Amino acid sequence: MNWAQVERRAMVEAMRREGPDAPTLCTGWATRDLAVHLLLRERRPDAAAGMFLPPLGAWTGRVTRSYAARDYDDLLDDVESGPPWFSLFALPDKYLNLAEMFVHHEDVLRGGADPTGPWTPRELAPGLSAALERPLKMMGRMTMGKSPARVTLRTPDGRDLLTVGSGEPVTVVGTVGELLLFAFGRAPVDVAFLGEPAAVALLSMARRSL
């Protein structure tokens, strides 16, 4: 299995363990809602489009409700099986799905945590950390391209993985996994900030999502 598949399986195991009504870091979503989101993303592009195109919102709502009414374990079986062969997300799975599976796995694991922290993250396998660097660089440019600070993402061993945004410089230090979660606007995350307090505050308040 590639790392996207490993994270998918671990995420589903966590969702089964927590049950259908457990909180996640996705505002307003319980684990059932997250499962429905993943299935629409991978299996129903006609419905997923309504997330971005308001005229399709009513159709997206109907499809979402029909999926949400299904048995929770059946939903998770479909999530675990991965995208069907005809899905955009089927190939290359390891590039298109790794960040999605990792972040949503953490959404489940941290769903009941205090967003103000502190949070002790799980220890990631070296191979997973290395694999996450590519989506971090890609997604970080997308989620923080309009940041009100000039953001540098740095690992604890001093490697700068990405610099993006404009304004006063702020360096965010953390492991690759924590930096990816930060780039997606998740909290709590285990990172440290280096920079002027006003610039750090601006960055912390800025929206970081797609």
SS3 content of the chain, % helix, strand, coil (to 5): 55, 10, 35
Residue-wise pLDDT tens digits, 44-59: 888 777 777 777 778 8
Q: pLDDT tens digits for 60-74? A: 889 999 999 999 999
The answer to whether residues 198 and 168 touch, using CB atoms and an 8 Å cutoff, is: yes
Question: Closest by alpha carbon to 187, among 210, 208, 169, 202?
Answer: 208
Q: Say what the pLDDT of residue 1 is.
A: 84
What's the rounded mean pLDDT across residues 78-93?
89
Our CA angle for 181, 48, 83, nearest 5°, is 75
The answer to whether residues 110 and 34 touch, using CB atoms and an 8 Å cutoff, is no
Task: Report which of 173, 184, 181, 205 is spatially closest to residue 109, judged by C-alpha positions.
Answer: 181
pLDDT tens sequence across 26-41: 999 999 999 999 999 9
Length of the chain (residues): 210
Which pLDDT tens digit goes with each residue over 95-110? 889 999 999 999 999 9
The model's confidence at residue 91, banded by pLDDT at 50, 70 and 90, is: confident
Name the least confident of 65-69, 90-94, 162-166.
90-94
Q: pLDDT band for position 25 (50/70/90)?
A: very high
Beta carbons of 151 and 208 less than 8 angstroms apart? no
Cis peptide before 84 (omega within 30 of 0): no
- Number of Cα atoms under 13 Å in the Cβ half of residue 111: 25
